[in-house]
Structure 1
Amino acid sequence: MMLRSALMMALKDHSIRAGMSQADAARHFCVTQPCVSDLMRGKINLFSLDALINMAVAADMRIESKA
């Protein structure tokens, strides 16, 4: 749950810093605009860890694991 939360916050911050609209972010993350809306609203239960990683990879974001 913590990994999903961290990825959601990183994706949201990325799109906000880039000044993207939800439609722009959807294209950038290779998802639909309603999916980005759910991300922005923090609906964590709608996203698997795999889906969030795929979105981050599509956005060329770097993912690190600190174990």
Structure 2
Amino acid sequence: MKIQRSSGNVFRDLGFEAKEAESLRLRAELMVEVRRLIEGRKLTQRSAASLLGVTQPRISDLIRGRIDLFSIDSLVNMLARAGMRIQLRIASRRRPAQAA
């Protein structure tokens, strides 16, 4: 069996282009946080929808992991409506080339 080290982004490892893989990774992380919030507060889908400013079917899609239906903006907006603070950290993936 051949084992390959992960790139750190499962979507990149699955063959997605770098830009799409990063978008999917961010959306997945945000979806996990929304789901944790819902479960942590023991909300029903209906009460979660009311809190997050979306419809109940939208919460159902989120719980079912329908990542293709959610943008980064929509997920950030949901978390913000719930009183969550979102922080963004930008980091370089590669070391800059050293001066010759």
Q: TM-score, normalised by structure 1?
A: 0.95
Greater relative contact order (CA < 8 Å, ≥ 6 in sequence): 1
Between Structure 1 and Structure 2, which shows a larger proportion of helix residues? Answer: 1
Secondary structure, counterpart of 1:3 in structure 2 = helix
Unaligned runs of 5+ in 2: 1-23, 91-100
Q: TM-score, normalised by structure 2?
A: 0.65
User: 1:64, 1:2 → 2: CA distance?
Assistant: 16
Aligned-pair Cα RMSD in Å: 0.7
The residue identity in structure 2 corresponding to 1:44 is I
Moved over 4 A (4+): none
Partner of 1:38: 61
The percentage of aligned residue pairs carrying the same residue is 42
User: 1:54, 1:22 → 2: CA distance?
Assistant: 17
2:76 aligns with one of 53, 56, 63: 53
- The count of aligned residue pairs is 67
